[in-house]
Amino acid sequence: MKDKELRKLIGSRIKQRRLELNLTQPYVAEKMGVTASTILRYENGSIDNTKKMVLEGLSEALHVSVEWL
């Protein structure tokens, strides 16, 4: 899988889970210490370098494993 495809897949899973939990982008952003626009960029797959630490923060905020993302 290409990097761009992987970013899109991860982004769609982030958004899917956020919506399942009825969470807003600003809420998730606050939990992670980033801006809502950053969460939007993760969901759109437009951030190139999603680091393990970021994935761990997202997985904690969304109550899923890093592997699921």
Query: For residue 21, is it within any domain?
Result: yes
Model-wide pTM > 0.75: yes
pLDDT, tens only, 33-66? 999 999 999 999 998 777 777 888 899 999 999 8
Dist CA 69 CA 62 (whole Å): 10
Does residue 18 form part of some domain? Answer: yes
- Give the helix ranges, DSSP H, for the chain: 3-20, 25-32, 36-44, 52-62
Total domains in the chain come to: 1
53 assigned to some structural domain: yes
> Tokens standing for 6?
């992987």
The CATH code of the domain that includes 49 is 1.10.260.40
Whether residue 13 is contained in a domain is answered as yes
pLDDT at 62: 92
| The pLDDT value given to residue 47 | 85
Q: Is residue 69 part of a domain?
A: no
